[in-house]
A and B are shown apart, each in its own frame.
Chain A
C-alpha cells in the first residue's frame, strides 16, 4: 500500500519525466525544420553530389572533415549531413528517455517509430548519393522528412501537460468536426509537399516560367504553342543569365501545373476549416486566432511560390518555400491534434493509475 506522500512523489516524477520528453520533442521539431531547410538548400544549389561518397566524406569520417574544405557546394551538403546526424542523436536520446521513463507502451512504440524513421531517412539520404540522385529517391527522401516531422509533432503534443482537447466547454461534435477539417487540411498539405518534391526533382520548377499566368495565358491550353513559348523563354534565359535551362517536356509542364492547381485545393480545405471554426458556438478565440495564423502561413507560402518563379529559383527563396511548406504542415497537424479527442491511453491518467495501483 503506497502512502499518499509516495503517490505524490511518483506523480511528480512522471510530470518531470514528461517535461524532459516534451522539451526534447519540441527541440526536435525545431531542428527538423532547420534540417528540412538545409536539405532544401542542398537541392537549390544542386549540391547533392558535391560530396560523392557516403557515409564517409571524401574518405574522412564525416566529423573529421576539415572545415577548410567546406567550400562552395560542399558546405551545403556537408552541413546538411552534420545537422542530420544531430537530429538522429536527439531522436535516439528521446527514444531512450521515453523507454526508461514513460510507462505507456503506445508512446514507447511511437518513439521507436521516430527512431526507425530517422534511421531510414539517413540511409535514404545516403542512397540518393550512391545512386546519383534518381528523382524517385530524392522525392522519397524529401517526403519522408515531412512525414518524420508529423511524427515528432505528434509526440510533442502527446507530451503536453494536458492531452484533453484544448477547447474548453464546447460541444464535442463541434470540436470533432473541426478536427476532421484540420486533419483534412494536413493531408492536403502533405500531398502538396509531395507534389512540390516531384516538381523540384524532375526539374519542373521553371517548366511554367510565369505567374500567375501560365505560359503567357491565363487559361493555359497545354498545346504545342504553349510549350514552344515556354522553351523559347528558357532558351532566352540560358543565353542571358547564367542558368542553363534545357528544353522542358509537356510532362514537366503538367507536373508544375498540378502543383499550382493543388494550391487551390489547399485553399479550399483551409476555407472549409475556417467556416467550421466560425460556426462553432460558443466560439473559442484561441482556435480562431490559430486558424488565422495558418491562413497567414498559406498566404506567405503562395507568395514564396510566386517569388520562386519570378526570381528564377533563387536558392534562398526556393528553400524558404520548402521550409514554409513544412511549417504549414506541422501547424495544421498540431491544430488538429489540439482539437481532437485523443484516445484515453495517451493521457496521463493511465500512467498515474499504473503508479498508484
Chain B
C-alpha cells in the first residue's frame, strides 16, 4: 500500500514538471497568403501517356505550382527556423518519409526529410516511372521504377536547401524535397497555417519558401509561454 502511494506521488510531481516544461517551450505560428489576382492555372496535359490520362478521365490533374485555399491562403509553403534553432542533437526518426506516385502525380508535393532518414518511394500506379532527384550537395538519384516495383528506399545524408524531384517519363510530375537536421519546420496546407513547436524563449529567423515565388524572411521573438505570431505574404513581385 505504502509503495503505491509513493508511486502516485512521484507520478504527480513528474506530471506537474512536464506540463510546466511545455508551458516554457514556445512556438511560432502564422498564416501564408497570396497577394493580388490569383492566376488561372491550366490543368496538366497528361495525354502523352495514355495510362496516366486514363487515370484522370473524369477529373483533370491540377497544376500544383500554386495551390490556394479560400481567402488566398497558400499551401505547399515550407516554413522553417533559419537562425537561432536550438543547437541540440535531433536523431532522425526511424519511420520513413513516404513519397507516392499515384495517378502520375507525386504526393506530397512538398516534403521534408531528415538527413539520414529513410525515404520510401511507392508506385501504386503500377506503371513505369523514373525517380530523379536534383540535389546540389547530396548524391542525385535517377532510378527506374518499373511497373512491378512497388517500393524503393533511399536517403539523403546532408542538409540541403529544397530541390526538385521529377519523373523524366512524365515531365509534368514534380515534387520538392528539403533535407534538414532538426524538427523546426512546418509545411502549409490549403488553410495556409503553419506552426513550429519546441522553441525556447529567444529570437529566431523564420523563412518561408515557395517553389516558384522564392523566399521571405522575418525575425521573431519567442517569449515564455506564448506563441509568437508572424504572417507572410507572397505576390507576383
Binding site for B on A (CB under 8 A): 45-53, 58-59, 69, 71-74, 132, 228, 232, 235-236, 238-242, 244, 246-247
Contacts and interface: CB of A to CB of B under 8 A. Distances in A.
B42 A241 contact: yes
Interface of B: 39-42, 44-45, 48-52, 63, 65-66, 128, 130, 132, 140, 142-144, 146, 168-172, 174, 212-214, 236-237
18 contacts: A46-B171, A52-B143, A53-B144, A59-B146, A71-B48, A71-B49, A72-B49, A72-B52, A74-B128, A132-B132, A232-B237, A235-B212, A235-B237, A236-B236, A239-B39, A239-B236, A242-B44, A244-B65
A240 B40 contact: yes
Nearest to B66: A239
A71 B171 contact: no
Contacts of A53: 144
B138 to A, nearest CB: 13
B41 A132 contact: no
Contacts, number: 82
B50 A240 contact: no
Contact of B65 (A228, A236, A239): A239
By secondary structure, the B interface counts as loop
Nearest to A48: B168
Contacts of B144: 51-53, 58-59
A190 to B, nearest CB: 30
Contacts of A235: 212-213, 236-237
A245 to B, nearest CB: 9
Contacts of A49: 130, 132, 142, 168
Instruction: Tell me which of A48, A51, A71, A235 has the highest count of chain B C-beta atoms within 10 A of its own C-beta.
Output: A71
A246 B212 contact: yes
Contacts of B49: 71-72
B228 to A, nearest CB: 31
Contact of A73 (B51, B169, B174): B169
A239 B142 CA distance: 28
Nearest to B45: A242
A58 B168 contact: no
Contacts of A238: 65, 212
Given A47-B168, A242-B172, A72 B65 contact: no
Nearest to A246: B212
A73 B48 contact: yes
A73 B170 contact: yes
A58 B65 CA distance: 30
B128 A132 contact: no
